Structure 1
């Protein structure tokens, strides 16, 4: 396959998945409203995932705590993927499956929003954090793909990007994250 064929295929897949994902606008709107409601009540958004989803967690948290489109106060969003000392200490002492749950235990409060990101929906460290968050009264949301995996069982809402191609799922996750930021930006008092 030549370069142009690779490019055409990627853009065609992206357009198709984007079009199908746009059919989830009610779910995306609901998630945006819930994030706004929590933040307006002084709660925070905790975001986590592995690999590319870890990078997406950081990207989305930065849009909230820094700025997305308009000038406004910084909003309380934290990526649980960034502190290498915490990640390696918890991973070493308790196991990789505990790296997010333990952080949720340490810093989440009732009413906070947890956003777990996993393209398969089966990342055990993400699932454990969501399950624990639900136990302590957090709102639990997910961004996953295909069938949603085990995350369907531990999220108040798990948005399933209709694809089984990791790259296309991740592209939609960041788009959804941006849309949620824009929903909050439009409602938040500057």
Structure 2
């Protein structure tokens, strides 16, 4: 087997084997999301690069569907509206791309999930700070020790790895688990 393939698969499996330790945090996050959705609130997601893709993917799983046909759930990826994003970047700067949206769209009781492999993405940190001011529930899907974001969130799920690719792989796995728990908790499975 090619050594690069073997290295990636072994590292993936090693990090994956630690996810069971995060089960209590995952369960608490799912329960927070279920409660917010039951209360008519919205789950917002944000991230950069691959984490932006994860944010869009997971918002889509909730608005569309994860397992089977069901009613749409209120979920928005803050990195999906190019007109809003480019306006904010042009007028305020990249570090405000998410916080400005949270300021305008977020309400008390909503959930903001900040996805950052380093835990130090300034635009995500700013969004979490604004969400906390608005009394939203803040969740961090983090890596590399959690970074500055770990002290800004209501609940941190920190992947025990310093490798961005492995962290991203675990974030999407956890995101899918959250979607499944939400559908089950809201009794929406087909």
- Measured after TM superposition, the shift of residue 70 of structure 1 is 2.3
Assess if the C-alpha contact under 8 Å between 1:130 and 1:154 holds in 2: yes
Give the Cα separation in 2 of the matches to 1:32 and 1:57: 16
SS at match of 2:18: helix
Spell out structure 1 runs of 4+ moving beyond 6 A: none
Assess if the C-alpha contact under 8 Å between 1:145 and 1:161 holds in 2: yes
- Measured after TM superposition, the shift of residue 189 of structure 1 is 3.9
- Measured after TM superposition, the shift of residue 103 of structure 1 is 0.2
> Match for residue 79 of structure 1?
77
| Aligned residue among 33, 46, 62 for 2:31 | 33
Alignment of 1:166-177 (within 5 A): 166-177=164-175
- Measured after TM superposition, the shift of residue 127 of structure 1 is 0.4
Give the Cα separation in 1 of the matches to 2:142 and 2:158: 5
- Measured after TM superposition, the shift of residue 22 of structure 1 is 1.9
- Measured after TM superposition, the shift of residue 188 of structure 1 is 1.4
Length, aligned pairs only: 188
> Match for residue 158 of structure 1?
156
Give the Cα separation in 2 of the matches to 1:165 and 1:65: 30
Alignment of 1:179-190 (within 5 A): 179-190=177-188
Give the Cα separation in 2 of the matches to 1:106 and 1:132: 10
Q: Show structure 1 runs of 5+ residues with no match.
A: none
For residues 99-135 of structure 1, the C-alpha deviation after alignment (integer angstroms, 9 at most, x for no partner) is 0000001100000000000000000000000011011
Give the Cα separation in 1 of the matches to 2:13 and 2:38: 34
Give the Cα separation in 2 of the matches to 1:175 and 1:78: 19
Q: Show structure 2 runs of 5+ residues with no match.
A: none
**Normalising to structure 2: TM-score of the pair?**
0.97
> Match for residue 88 of structure 1?
86
Give the Cα separation in 1 of the matches to 2:154 and 2:185: 22
